[in-house]
Amino acid sequence: MNQMQIDRLIAEAKKSVGEFELSRKSFSAGAVSAALITAQGNIYTGICVDLACGIGFCAEHSAVAEMLKSRETEIKAVVAVSESRILPPCGRCRELMVQVNAKNKDADVIVGPDKTIKLRELLPNGWLIDSN
């Protein structure tokens, strides 16, 4: 990815970030937002939902679900942001992206304003270990 593409994806993620309270003060949404670009060039975004009992989900999960609604599975690059910084995906999100499409191991994960790393480096031994 070139710097202009990285900047564009970060800007798309930042459009949706902004925490807001739900039914209780301890429940919220939007503290983290994610954006991904597919191999077809489409951008999908999502926000996190933080609820009790672990029933919420990460922003990357939300963005992946949006992508799947359009019947796409291959991610070219992904980024997650809070209001103050860029965040690497958690292990659950890393695994989700690989299980959706094994080619996503080669997706660029934006981990800084000018730094990317391949998903395969962040998830060297995924749950579905294979030769790819």
Q: Which of 81, 70, 3 is nearest to 43 (CA)?
A: 70
Q: pLDDT of 24-77, one tens digit each?
A: 988 999 999 999 999 999 999 999 999 998 899 999 999 999 999 999 999 999
Look at residue 66 and tell me if it is in a domain.
Answer: yes
In a domain, 74, yes or no: yes
Rounded Cα–Cα distance for residues 35 and 56 (Å): 18
Q: Which domain holds residue 84?
A: 3-122
From residue 41, alpha-carbon distances to 4, 21, 104 in Å are 14, 33, 14
Query: What's the number of domains the chain is made of?
Result: 1
Examine residue 16 and state whether it is found in any structural domain, yes or no.
yes
Phi, psi values for residue 113, rounded to 5°: -55, -25
Would the pTM count as exceeding 0.85?
yes
Of 73, 78, 68, 65, the closest CA to residue 9 belongs to 78
Find the radius of gyration of the CA atoms of the chain.
Answer: 14
Percent of the chain with pLDDT over 90: 81
Q: Is residue 127 part of a domain?
A: no
Residue 56 located in a structural domain = yes
Number of neighbouring beta carbons within 10 Å of residue 43: 17
> pLDDT over 70 for what percent of the chain?
96
130 part of a folded domain:
no
**Is residue 7, in this structure, part of any structural domain at all?**
yes
Whole-number Å distance between alpha carbons of 123 and 31:
24
117 located within any domain: yes
- Which CATH number is 35's domain given? 3.40.140.10
Strand 43-50, strand 28-38: pairing: antiparallel
- pLDDT, residue 131, reads 46
What's the residue count for the chain? Answer: 132
